[in-house]
Structure 1
Amino acid sequence: MPLGWNLRNDHRDAAFAAAAERTATVAGALTAGANAKGVAAALALAGGGTVVHTPGIAPTAGGRAGAALIDKASTTLAPTVEDVDGGVVRLVPITIGDRHSVVEAFIPAAELNKDTARDWWLLLGLAVLLVGGAVFVVDRLARGAVSSARHLVDAALAVGDGDLAVRIDPSGPRELAEAGYAFNRMADRLVTSRTDERELVADLSHRLRTPLTALRLDAEALDPDDTQIGDFSPAELDRRRGIRRIRTAITTLEDEVNSLINTTRQAVAAQLSAPEDGLCDASEVVRERMMFWSALAGDQDRQYRVVGAHLRIPVPVARAELAAALDAVLGNVFRYTPQGTSFEVGLSRRDGWVALRVDDAGPGIDDPEQALRRGQSNQGSTGLGLDIARRVAQATGGSVSLDRAAMGGASVVMLLADADATPKTPSRFGLVGRGRPAREKAPERKRWQRGRE
């Protein structure tokens, strides 16, 4: 609207400038003292609508200004513009000696408003075009933002319905793109948290197998529970039935623990979780756990030996985690080797690493690679024992390896970082062993050189 008003004023100024040019032509002739013929020629050159009035007498024919306007203009020193019927007039006073004249130039209203309507229509069309273009561009931009927001909402609803595999392709404005990346990170964290939670349930359930193993071994050491063969007194029958109930309850409890482990284990790859922050003395943990296992070893006539657990050896593992890992390995020894099989627990440190070794004189492990896979076992168990040890070792940057022990059976070595030394990357051979040369190493697996401690 301001632009249209300025264009209207420009047209009026142009009309006034043309009228001023016409009056200047006639005024110049009068000022130069031209005769009637010269004045007529000047009027003809100025064009129609220009006349010369003499104040005090009747207005000249063809003029639009009245006598009052003419008399008023003759008394002024500057040109004036007055409204008349059909337009405006520009009156210029001319004084030559004692003679006064007034030059009139008429400007029709149509000339004052020439092309004004056209300008307004052009401006209106331009405004409609600009507004329409702005709406189209904004709609295109908003469509992308709305689409990104809709995808984010749909993905959030899918996650709320339990589909944790849904992800979105971040797009749209920067804020929505950042929200998309944050959503994907959140979904990944949810998957990891759920996997860790279920793995934790499986691991905690597996820890129950340690006391269950002790109960089962104690139950097996009891008298027979057969009540079908022989004559027994009522007291003996009750005692044998009680033994049978104990063994049945232990078997049922083992089955329930196995079922809990199997139902909570995920089909996806296990996500490693950082262990509980803190340090513990590996030697103290070994001594403490061997006090528990020594009773079972005595009941089963197992000879055992503990090597290297007399000095303080700190490792960056929570005490409960290391105890659970050691229990899992020792539990396998008691579970899968015949009674009377001897075993040895060794602890040593070197080059920034601590090696916790459990050797036995049993039949050994036919397929070490499969035994280290989570949930894999050829003994009918859940296959989580060695995985618990592996996760604890890997949390410190170490590893778990399986080999043939010098005693003839399996040798499980947990490699842990030494909390008192900066971890390095040296050769990890020669820390633990019983005095035989290094075996030939396969390209994909590292073996421990067996040297005397």
Structure 2
Amino acid sequence: MVALAFLIPLGLVVQQLARERALADAERQTAVVVAVLTVTTDQLSIERAIASTGGPAVTRVSVHNLGESGAEIGRGHAAAGDLTKAADAAAPVIADVDGGESYLEPVDLGAGRTTVVEVFIPESELSNGVAGAWWALAAVALGLIIASVWVADRLASRIIVSARQLAGAAGALSEGYLDVRIDPQGPAELADASYALNVMADRIMALLSNERELVADLSHRLRTPLTALRLDAETLDDSQDADRIRDAIAALEVEVDKLIRAMREPIDAHSPTPDRGERADGAAATTGDEGCDVAEVVRDRMMFWSAVAGDQERDCKSTGTDAPAPVNVPKSELAAALDALIGNVIRYTPQGVPFEVAVTRREDGYVVLRVEDGGPGIPDPELAMQRGESQQGSTGLGLDIVKRVAIAGNGTVNIGTSSTLGGASVVIVMTDADPAPQEEAPPPPRWLVGRLSKEPNERRSRRRGQ
């Protein structure tokens, strides 16, 4: 566009110069004839003067109102009105005629006599060389446009490549590929952003490594009190309570060992790094096809918790554990979630408050695990589901464990009020690992879909938008 802004006026200037050049030639021819007319009005002398101008323009010169006889020399093109106008104005006049223009210059012969010398300028003379100039300017404009487009494409390509590289690296980093690094290039702003992304990735790797080392060290420090507890437990008698305590200590030692080994493993920067058991798309990470039987887990854990409930004079029962209820959740994870729920009942409800654990294998392809109690309930369920938030002064991680287990089982969590016991009711819905054949895929459990059964990422994005 800048090239056109300069070339169009330049083309108009070329056109104007061609016209002025043609008019200058006509004026030169007229001057020769005028010089003769000021000396003599002899027709032969005037014709010789016209012939002396030379070139094809000789035939385009004419003289009007010569002498008293009013004779004319040559063939005129201008109208009578234009001749009269020139004679009256006593100054050169340019008149538009068919096929071009006429240059008219009056000559005062004295004694009231006036002669008008006319030079006809055809249209071809007025635009001589203009077409070629326009073609040349058009070629220059086209060349400038092509060159500018090429330069702009090269510049834009550098920006686009750098921007795509930066966006791709940011996306890979957000999915947990911590080894992603990019070569800062392109405009200074994008290069600075690329460098900052590399620094951020290095910082994330360092922080994650330090965090894993810290967790591993803290877990290792738990071995000392656990060893002391195990030694104390070995001195107990062979009662049922002693066996329960030994089993609990052994299970705790196994969990601590697993935690230490997991934290000591080097970070695989070439694969997604889950965040608290979540994949990059927000779903919880699962361990291959490893699964468990919900009914079996409930039976095992209720053997432990029923003894604790007996000590606190609590009524407890489990239902629905006679038939298998397979889900694609590791047994240890589901047991940890169940322990967290029952542990909350034991810790935060008065002694003597009953609780119940129920397992239901639904025909629509879902397994439901329900834990209910007769306590005061949970006043703010949504706050309780947030990681690190607690209304009882605890760490606030128990319900977060439950939520991640539900997501690992492709299900949901809902907190409400028990219709039978009157206290809190926490329901975990997980997809059946071996559903009965159906004509259509099982629909989502809409009977449980509420504000707490939404995916964590959805609730996060909604809170960020507020």
> Please, what TM-score do these two structures have when normalized by structure 2?
0.49
Residue correspondence of structure 1 range 19-418 to structure 2 within 5 A: 19-33=26-40, 35-47=42-54, 48=58, 49-54=60-65, 57=70, 59-98=72-111, 99-216=113-230, 218-219=232-233, 222=235, 238=239, 246=245, 249-267=248-266
Is the contact made by 1:195 and 1:266 (CA closer than 8 Å) also made in structure 2? no
User: Matched residue of 1:106: which SS?
Assistant: strand
Distance 1:246 1:24, change over 3 A: same
1:264 and 1:73 map into 2 onto residues whose CA distance is: 107
Partner of 2:78, secondary structure, is coil
What CA distance in whole angstroms lies between the structure 1 residues aligned with 2:147 and 2:264?
59
Taking the aligned partners of 1:61 and 1:158, their CA distance within structure 2 comes to 90
Aligned-pair identity (%): 46
User: How many angstroms apart in 2 are the aligned matches of 1:35 and 1:58?
Assistant: 11
Q: Distance in 1 between matches of 2:158 and 2:229?
A: 66
SS of residue paired to 2:168: helix
Q: Distance in 2 between matches of 1:27 and 1:116?
A: 31
Q: CA deviation at 1:18?
A: 0.7
- The match for 1:7 is 14
Q: Residues 65 and 255 from structure 1, CA distance in 2 versus in 1: closer, same or farther, beyond 3 angstroms?
A: closer
1:19 shift after superposition: 0.5
Looking at structure 1, the residues matched to 34 and 74 of structure 2 have their Cα atoms a distance apart, in angstroms, of: 18
SS in structure 2 at match of 1:75: helix
Superposition deviation, residue 214 in structure 1: 3.8
Give the Å deviation of 1:11: 0.6
The answer to whether the 8 A contact 1:88-1:107 is kept is yes
Alignment check: 8 A CA contact 1:168 1:180 kept: yes
2:65 counterpart letter in structure 1: T
Q: Which residue of 2 aligns with 1:324?
A: none
Q: Matched residue of 1:54: which SS? A: strand
1:16 CA displacement: 0.5
In structure 2, relative to structure 1, the CA distance for the partners of 1:60 and 1:68 (3 Å cut) is farther
C-alpha distance in 1 between matches for 2:134 and 2:74: 37
Secondary structure of 2:151 counterpart: helix
SS in 2 for 1:170: coil
Return the offset for 1:44.
Answer: 1.3
Aligned-residue offset at 1:89 = 0.9
Deviation, 1:157, is: 2.7
Work out the CA distance in 1 between the residues paired with 2:184 and 2:107: 82
Distance 2:82 2:246 in 1: 133
Query: Residue deviations 1:347-377, cap 9 Å, x none?
Result: xxxxxxxxxxxxxxxxxxxxxxxxxxxxxxx
The one-letter amino acid paired with 1:21 is R
Deviation by residue 1:20-40 (Cα, 9 ceiling, x = unmatched): 111112112222447555433
Counterpart of 2:430? none
Q: Distance in 1 between matches of 2:79 and 2:180?
A: 90
Q: Is the 8 A contact 1:88 1:108 kept in 2?
A: yes
The aligned amino acid for 2:36 is A
Is contact 1:59-1:66 (8 Å) kept? no
Q: Structure 1 203/32 Cα, relative in aligned 2: closer, same or farther at 3 Å?
A: farther
Equivalent-residue separation in structure 2 for 1:77 and 1:266 (angstroms): 109
Change in CA separation of 1:86 and 1:13 when aligned onto 2, cut-off 3 Å: same
Deviation (angstroms), 1:137: 1.6
TM-score, scaled to structure 1: 0.51
Q: Contact 1:199/1:266 (CA < 8 Å) preserved in 2?
A: no
Tell me if the contact between 1:215 and 1:250 (Cα under 8 Å) persists in the aligned partners.
Answer: yes
C-alpha distance in 2, partners of 1:159/1:215? 43
Report the Cα distance in structure 2 between the residues aligned to 1:19 and 1:103, rounded to whole angstroms.
Answer: 10
Task: Tell me how far apart the structure 1 counterparts of residues 185 and 201 of structure 2 sit (CA, whole Å).
Answer: 17
The AA in structure 2 aligned to 1:194 is L
| Cα shift at 1:46 | 2.2
d(CA) in 2 for partners of 1:259 and 1:67?
A: 116
User: 2:117 aligns to what SS in structure 1?
Assistant: strand
Query: Which residue of structure 2 aligns with residue 348 of structure 1?
Result: none
- Residue 211 of structure 1: how far off its partner (Å): 2.6
CA distance in 1, matches of 2:251, 2:116: 129
User: In 2, Cα distance between the equivalents of 1:151 and 1:86?
Assistant: 65
How far 1:108 sits from its partner (Å)?
A: 0.9
Deviations 1:227-249 (A, max 9, x none): xxxxxxxxxx54xx766665565
Letter in 2 for 1:161: E
| Deviation sequence 1:250-274 (CA, Å, 0-9, x none) | 45433432221121124269xxxxx
Long gaps (5+) in structure 1: 226-236, 270-453
For 1:111, give the aligned amino acid.
E
Retained in 1: the 8 A contact 2:33–2:117?
yes
Q: Which amino acid aligns with 1:134?
A: S
SS of the residue 2:259 aligns to: helix
Q: Is the 8 A contact 1:59 1:67 kept in 2?
A: no
Shift of 1:83: 1.4
Write the distance in 1 (CA, Å) between the matches of 2:246 and 2:105: 133
Matched residue of 2:116: which SS? strand
Cα distance, 1:156 vs. partner? Answer: 2.4
Root mean square deviation of aligned Cα: 2.7
- Contact 1:148–1:172, Cα closer than 8 Å, also in 2: yes
